[in-house]
Amino acid sequence: MKFLNFDFSKIKNFLERLTEVLLLVVSASLLLGIIFGPDTAFVGDVYNNFSAVLLLVGQDGLIALVSLIIIFSVLKK
């Protein structure tokens, strides 16, 4: 019955660290997409997908604002 004694705090810690790493990857990709444009290899795909999601929201100038918020939130940590 070791399954009932399973420690969920390890899973929570792992998911928190994974989220931090993925947030860093996305913010770096957005920053590089802004600098080098959406035609770059991996960075352009992330930038294009992010802009497509924001276009669904409906505001054109919102992509720069949200990108800056994500970048500054990562740099703040």
Of 25, 73, 75, the residue nearest 50 (C-alpha): 25
Q: What is the pLDDT of residues 43-69, one digit of tens each?
A: 777 777 877 777 766 655 667 777 778
- 35 three-state secondary structure: helix
How far, in Å, CA of 7 to CA of 14, rounded? 12
Going from N- to C-terminal start, the domains of the chain cover: 33-77
Say what percent of the chain tops pLDDT 70. Answer: 81
CB 59 within 8 A of CB 70: no
In this prediction, residue 1 has a pLDDT band, given cuts at 50, 70 and 90, of: very low
For 12, 32, 38, 44, the CA distances from 41, given in Å and listed in that order, are 33, 11, 8, 6
